[in-house]
Each structure stands twice: as structure tokens, then as C-alpha cells.
Chain A
């Protein structure tokens, strides 16, 4: 076999990953994904391997619950045939490899910088000379938005090509938030430092990213998670989903100038994050997930409190949703706005909510379950229209679903494990991959250790990495004044992309 099939959160020796020549590597991975909607690339990256570059490609199969990992050694001066020439979903990954190592890709239509990493290959490419797609036309005009946001969120530059009010093309340039997170993971040697780093990958997905990191670390150290650890993480992940989805509903209402929805949903987010404060001491869940232990055991008293919080929450949440989804002026803004057809979603390899809003079933909780999800028998919520309405509906229904899961989980609270924990040093020469379904979608972390068990590579992929392109496609042929609501309905992360 040309690849090795592994499960989510499993550790293998790096030597177990078959190393094949590039032509076979190309054929293998493109054939794995082509015409298989249940498979997609969860990560494809390179790292320095002596003088050469080792490429590792991980394809997840949702039906068999496996991840197919293969590798290939190439030289930085090579020009390779781009996967993208066959399948668009590899586009961003190949751009990243090109940016970091200078490997050329023939047949790639859009080999532009991704995030201007500090250790990139070609330092002459800077954020100031990004090669924007240009038009030569008297009738069309360009509108540049950002990088400084009109509100208080993160920086990114959006360049629209418009015909009057209609958007013909949007190009999104990111990289302003690059902090060198992946490099810092290798430089910072203490576990606590690394955990706090994981918490800072994307401030709105603290539990998601930290869970991915902890799962990887525990897998590398061969630590058997006790039930109470998995319980806390699963519960916290669902609470994070409820909180952020509710906040997003509020933001969508703000963007259509529906004040009632904006303030009611905004208020509803608060009790949930306040509960996180009660439980873990921080509203944004920082300091909550720690590898190898259950920092804040969930007590039956907390369970009672949470049940009360959710009862009060759900009543108002339902009432507000009834109001919102019968309001004609709101529906006329949601429906048929920012449509991404499911064929496009599939071809660009969108993940998480952005995939599920357009008929594509991609949910790690079902396909590669972790934590207590195998017991919950998660059934993803799928919508079919791919418009803002679908994305808003998904949020509404996922919140309801998550409330159901939380209620189910707190019926059976496991005893906290009081045994003192001891984490071994990570296995040497190993490869680990962890998939977590954060509220935004699939989070993929990969780690590789050297002969002493030290990290030599830590690779992070936030769902935003794929999904920004979905936003660019969504706004085509829409009015430029509908851009904010399209953007908010995806709510993608800048820092999660820029790392």
C-alpha cells in the first residue's frame, strides 16, 4: 500500500508513513479525493527533512472513519505538477507549501502568498506588493475594504471588483495577523506555554483548538484519558458552540439592522459564557483545557446550575427565533443572499458549517468522533440552499441540538479522577493527527517529533483556511451592500488563518 490508514488522535512512527515518488504521490492523493465526496484533504504540508522537503498529505475518509497518510520527498528547487490542476481543494495547501519552501507548482492558477510567514522562502514578497487580480475596464470599479476594520474585529483586506452595486469578484488578502504560532510551538519548550499558545490560535475557538492540542499531546505521551476528562472537554466544546452561535445570530441581526434580534441574542450569549466563568474561572474558557488532567471537574452542583441556565436560555432563544424567522424584512435579507452551490462547496473542500449549509455532510463529530461523541451518536444538521438563510438556520438548530447534548451529558456526571497524573515524555519519531469539530468546523492539528521526543513540526489548520474562499464565492453577483451579512454569516477567523 502507498499510504497508511490511521484513526483520529492516533500516534504512529514517522517511518510507518510510506514514502513514495511524487508521480505516485500525485496519483494516489488525487485519485483518493476525486469523485469521492466523503473524502477530503484535512492537511497537506511540508517540513524540512535534511536538505530536502518532506510532503505529508492526510486525506480523511468519512465513511471508514480513517485518515490516509502518505508522504513524499522533494527538493526545494523542484517544480511539481500541482494537485490543484486536478482538484481545486488542494489550492490553499499548495500555495502555503510554495510560500514556505519555494517549491514550484505547475498548473496552479493562483500561486499567491497565503499569510507571509516570517520564515517564508521569498522575502521580497510582502504584504504591500500582493498581486491583486486586476481589471482593465471603464465601467467596472474597484472597492478596497480594510485592512483596518470599521468595527473592532481583526484586520484583513477585501478587494471587490464591482459593476455598480453588483459584485463581480472578491479577492481576500490575509496575513496581517501572522504571529508565527507554528514556529512558537517548537521554540517554547514548556507544556504550559504550548497549551496557552493553543488557546490563542483563535480567540473564539479556545476549547476547540486546545482540545486538539491536548488530544495530540496525550496521544504522543500514550496517556489514557479518563472519562471525566473527555466529559469536561465535550461539554465545554458544546457550550462554546452554543455561545458563539448565539453571538453570531446577534451579529447577523445587527448587520440587517434588526435591533431586537441583535440585543436579545447578544444578551443570551452572556449566561452561557458566564457559566464557563463559574465552572472554569474564565468567560472565554482560557485555562480550562490542560493536557493530561481535568483542571476543573464538573460537579453535580454545577450540573444543577447549568440545567437552570439552559432552561432560562432556551425559552428566550426559542421565542426570539420565532420572531426572527417570521419577520418578512429579515427573511428577505436572508433568503437567496450569498448562495454557494453545493458543487462549489465540494470542489473547494469547505468544511464544517460552511459545508453543511450546502448539502455536504462534513462533521468530525460523526465521521471521526472523539471525546464522548461516539456515545452521543451525533447526526449532523444539513441544509440545502447554501444561502445566508441556511447558515442562520444551521446556527439556530445546532444550538438546539447542543442544548440537547448538554442535557444528556449532565444526567450522568462521571466521578472526577483524583489519582495524581503523570505525563510521560512524548514518543520519539512519531506522527500524530487530531481532528476536532469546533463550532466553526473541522480543526486539524498534526505533530511530528524527533529522535528525542521533541516537537520538530506542529501544523495547525483552522476551518477558516478553506472557508475564506467560500465567502469569496458567496458574494459573487450579490449586491456589495450584502457583503457584511454574507461575511458575518460565515464568521471566519482571521488569526486562525494567519496563525
Chain B
């Protein structure tokens, strides 16, 4: 329950902080922190326009996408407090309920029949496919290390003690942050600010969505950020008491948003063909974690 509230609060500010960081870095004042939320509220007051070439898929997809992100949010724990849903193997549920949402957003993009959206859908599918092993090898390694298979138990049992486990935490943070960047279509994989359909990944898939549906998709995006931020936080706060853990949660979320903003200000986007290489390289970082875990457990003879 606690994690749900914290994630929702973080989601309110996360995107606003990124945008503000980027504005300040380029010497502009920039919009207020909650401007993205105001925009979404405006969208929620509007109706949606549907192209005549689309079918029911296009109309239900935003809702399913939104619902999938909410479901995924429910399994995230916060330190010693469980998520609203918690069971053995819930991290698999987490990954695939998000994948379900993504699957629907992909087929709804194809449903519009636009050549742009088809390209975007194919890119998104490719990148998610490459990112999946990175996430699972990471979570599998942590499960192996702790001997549990639910988010709550894994994180509660994760003691940062030896040097090797410090290394694991650092690598795991890196992998989770990068997976968050890929899942949320941020730089250096995708440029969320671009107006050029030919270079877009996620944005081009939602070109035809409008009004309420667009609001749902954007809100889901805000929450996704906070969800991955919460996962990163969980790596650190296993045994920490709440009065320290809660400020830490916000500090880490804030840091993550600011660093995303800085990355987006001071580097150029990858060439599209380099993205695939980059994402596959993430998997090898996950494999490092896996070998480190084997080392700790003494599985190497």
C-alpha cells in the first residue's frame, strides 16, 4: 500500500523534473514541475477522435495499456512493506503484464494503417525484445542470490554486505535505469521531443491517439518512470527504517529524473542501428551480475 502511494506521488513530479532540468540546462526558465500533469488533466477533459480506418483494437488499447501499468505498479513492494499483490514469481507477472500493455499499443499502432506507426511499432517491438533478457537475467540472479522468487522477499532479503554485492547493486541499478530508459523511450534510445516521425519510436505509435486516450497513455508513461525508480530504490532500502527510507525514495527518484534530464541535454541520440547493439550489451551487464551471484554462492568449483 505504501509503495503504491509513494509511486503515485513520484509520478506526479517525475516528468516535470526531467523537463525542468532540460530547460535549465539549455538556459531557459522552463515550465512548472507539474505542467505535464496539468496537460494530462486538460486531455482528460476532452473526447477522443478515431480514424475511420481503425477498429475496436485502437479504441481499447490505451485503456489496456494504462491498466497494465497500474497492475504492474501493484506488485512493487517498498522495503519491508509488501506490494498490494505479492506472490511467488510476481516479477515474471510484472514483466509480462507490462508486455501485454505494450503488445496492445503495438497492434493498435499497426491498426491505424499508417506507414510511420508501423515503423515505430516494429522498432518498439525489437527494442523491448532485446531488453527482456536483461531484465530477466537480473531478476533471476537476484532470486538465485536470495533464494526467493517474489519482489518483496527478494528485496527484503537483499543485504548489501560484501564488496561483490556492492558491485552487484551498482550494476543492477545501471541495468534497471537503462531498462527504464528503453521502456519509457527516452534518450539515448529515443528522442521524446522530436517532431520528426521518421526518427521516432514510441511517439510515432501514439500519433493517432487523442484526447482522453492520449491522456491515459501519457499518465501511464509517468507512472512507468516512477515504477522503475521504485525498483531501483528497493535495491538499497531492504532493511532501512521508514523514516529514512521514505526520504531516500524521493531523493533517488529525484536524482534519477535529474540525471535523465542532464543526459538528454548534453548528448545526441544514438543512430537507430546502434540502439539494438546498445540494448543487447545491457544483457551482458546482466550476465556479469549472474556470474557475480554464482561466485558469491560458491557455484564455481
**Which A residues fall within an 8 A CB radius of B?**
141-145, 150-151, 164-165, 253, 255-260, 262-264, 267, 327, 329-330, 332-333, 337, 479-484
Contacts and interface: CB of A to CB of B under 8 A. Distances in A.
B273 interface: yes
A259 B265 contact: yes
Contacts of A145: 197-198
Nearest to A143: B115
Nearest to B197: A150
A255 B196 contact: yes
B272 A165 contact: yes
A496 to B, nearest CB: 22
B156 interface: no
Contact of A263 (B26, B115, B188, B195): B26
A479 B272 contact: yes
B130 to A, nearest CB: 15
Contacts of B265: 259-260
Contacts of A142: 115
Given A143-B115, A257-B187, A480-B119, A333 B197 contact: no
B271 A482 contact: yes
A332 B28 contact: no
B25 A260 contact: yes
Interface string B261-301: 00011111111111000000000000000000000000000
A446 B268 CA distance: 44
Q: Give the most central of B267, B272, B274: most A CB within 10 Å.
A: B267
B194 interface: yes
A255 B199 CA distance: 9
B247 interface: no
A15 B196 CA distance: 52
A165 B116 CA distance: 11
Given A143-B115, A257-B191, A480-B198, A329 B270 contact: yes
B27 interface: yes
A484 B268 CA distance: 14
B268 A327 contact: yes
Contacts of B115: 141-144
Contacts of B266: 259-260
B193 interface: yes
A478 B268 CA distance: 18
Top 9 nearest A-B pairs (CB, nearest first) are: A257-B191, A263-B26, A257-B269, A258-B268, A329-B268, A256-B268, A481-B272, A484-B196, A330-B268
Nearest to A261: B268
Contact of A482 (B122, B187, B272): B272
B202 interface: no
Contacts of A481: 198-199, 271-272
8 contacts: A150-B195, A150-B196, A257-B191, A258-B268, A329-B267, A329-B268, A481-B198, A481-B272
B273 A165 contact: yes
Contacts of A150: 195-197
A383 to B, nearest CB: 20
Contact of B198 (A257, A264, A333, A484): A484
Contacts of A327: 267-268
Q: Give the most central of B196, B199, B270: most A CB within 10 Å.
A: B196
Contacts of A263: 26-28
Q: Give the most central of B25, B122, B268: most A CB within 10 Å.
A: B268
Interface string B2-32: 0000000000000000000010011110000
Contacts of B195: 150-151
Contact of A329 (B28, B116, B196, B269): B269
Nearest to B267: A329
B145 to A, nearest CB: 35
Interface string B165-207: 0000000000000000000000110010111111100000000
Interface string B239-257: 0000000000000000000
A151 B116 CA distance: 16
Contacts of B116: 143
Contacts of A165: 119, 272-273
B26 A260 contact: yes
Contacts of A144: 115
A499 B39 CA distance: 41
Nearest to A255: B196
Nearest to B273: A479
Contact of B274 (A256, A260, A332, A483): A332
A308 to B, nearest CB: 21
A260 B26 CA distance: 6
A222 B269 CA distance: 55
Contacts of B198: 143, 145, 480-481, 483-484
Contacts of B118: 141
Nearest to B207: A150
Contacts of B197: 145, 150
B28 A143 contact: no
A136 to B, nearest CB: 17
Contact of A259 (B25, B119, B196, B199): B25
A196 B201 CA distance: 44
Q: Give the most central of B115, B198, B199, B267: most A CB within 10 Å.
A: B198
